[in-house]
Amino acid sequence: MINPKKSLSQNFLKDKNICKKIVSEANIKNNLVLEIGPGYGILTDFILKEKPKKFILVEKDKKIFEFLKKKYSNNENIILHNKDILNFNFKDLNNLIVISNLPYNISSKIILNLFKNSEHCKEAILMVQKEMALKFDYSLKKLNKYKFLNKLFCHYKRCFDVSPNVFFPRPKVTSSVIKFNFRLKSIDYNNAIKFSSIIFKNKRKKISNNISISEKEVLKIANKRVDEINISEMLMIYNFF
């Protein structure tokens, strides 16, 4: 047994019923699947039962990587990478189904990295802290950069909550399984990040004080503060950025 590392925010899933529920949210059969941080492979085994066309495992921890190499040494369908997912090259991959029990300390960074590589992704089913799941939920009031970017890049669903009792070690928080269905259109990630940085760093100011808007119809909305508009109005402003 490899001891979980706090530095990598490792909380290993141990409940088979939760694994089944996660897998049931994904469209795995005959698709290209990528799992981030598979750990000992409990979720991995359930994904394999659904017969993906090809299965990529990205594991940062060297000892766990070596464990997985032995465990799946006879499975030609699995491709293993001992890498940090934030440095992983998505270039030659398309229509990816991403599945993961994400490390909580960098979950938002990983999700934003998936947005950055959205042209390669089809959907993502991820386990995160419930608090993080709510931060990305654009159906809730009080806009933030996560909700804006999520709405821009994805259709979003909060699937179900998960008790701390199904992990080793046991985290102090409730988790949520969430699903991102990536939009088919190409989106300029760098432009979206630039816009969100300008808008959400100056939330108390009128939006028109932060960016230049000339269209009269949009200017009416832009003469408000971020907290005074909804997600659809924010997207309308972004279209003229």
Claim to verify: residue 119 and residue 90 sit in the same structural domain: yes
The pair of structure tokens assigned to 209 is: 């004080």
According to the model, what pLDDT value does residue 117 have?
A: 97
Contact 181, 154 (CB under 8 A): yes
According to the model, what pLDDT value does residue 216 have?
A: 78
- Please say which residue of 187, 204, 221 terminates a domain: 187
CATH number of the domain that residue 32 is part of: 3.40.50.150
Claim to verify: residue 121 and residue 143 sit in the same structural domain: yes
Q: Distance between CA 191 and CA 122 in Å, rounded?
A: 21
Claim to verify: residue 67 and residue 173 sit in the same structural domain: yes
Q: Which of 8-17, 48-57, 64-73, 195-204 has the lowest mean pLDDT?
A: 8-17
Q: Check whether 146 has a pLDDT greater than 80.
A: yes
Domain that holds residue 62: 6-187
Q: Distance between CA 238 and CA 116 in Å, rounded?
A: 17
Claim to verify: residue 200 and residue 95 sit in the same structural domain: no
The pair of structure tokens assigned to 64 is: 């766990």
Question: How much is the pTM?
Answer: 0.92
Decide if 1 is inside a domain. no
Question: pLDDT for 37-60, tens place per residue?
Answer: 998 899 999 999 999 999 999 999
Alpha carbon 94 to its chain centroid, in Å, reads 16
According to the model, what pLDDT value does residue 5 have?
A: 47
Enumerate long-range contacts of 140-144, CB under 8 Å, 24 or more apart: 142/227, 143/200, 143/226, 143/227, 143/229, 143/230, 143/231, 143/234, 144/200
According to the model, what pLDDT value does residue 219 have?
A: 86
Q: Distance between CA 44 and CA 80 in Å, rounded?
A: 12
The share of the chain scoring above pLDDT 70, in percent, equals 96
Claim to verify: residue 105 and residue 195 sit in the same structural domain: no
Claim to verify: residue 83 and residue 195 sit in the same structural domain: no
Decide if 134 is inside a domain. yes
Claim to verify: residue 28 and residue 145 sit in the same structural domain: yes
- Please say which residue of 168, 187, 206 terminates a domain: 187
Classify burial at 17, counting beta carbons within 10 Å of its beta carbon; exposed 0-12, middle 13-18, buried 19 or more: exposed
Q: Which of 104-118, 126-140, 201-215 has the lowest mean pLDDT?
A: 201-215
Claim to verify: residue 93 and residue 119 sit in the same structural domain: yes
Question: pLDDT for 157-202, tens place per residue?
Answer: 999 999 999 887 777 889 999 999 999 888 999 999 999 999 998 8
Claim to verify: residue 139 and residue 228 sit in the same structural domain: no
Decide if 94 is inside a domain. yes
Claim to verify: residue 76 and residue 147 sit in the same structural domain: yes
Q: How many domains does the chain have?
A: 2
Q: How confident is the model at residue 118 (pLDDT cuts 50, 70, 90)?
A: very high
Decide if 64 is inside a domain. yes
Q: Distance between CA 17 and CA 107 in Å, rounded?
A: 23
- Please say which residue of 169, 187, 205 terminates a domain: 187
Claim to verify: residue 183 and residue 195 sit in the same structural domain: no
According to the model, what pLDDT value does residue 7 have?
A: 45
According to the model, what pLDDT value does residue 3 have?
A: 57
pLDDT mean over 71-92: 95
Claim to verify: residue 51 and residue 167 sit in the same structural domain: yes
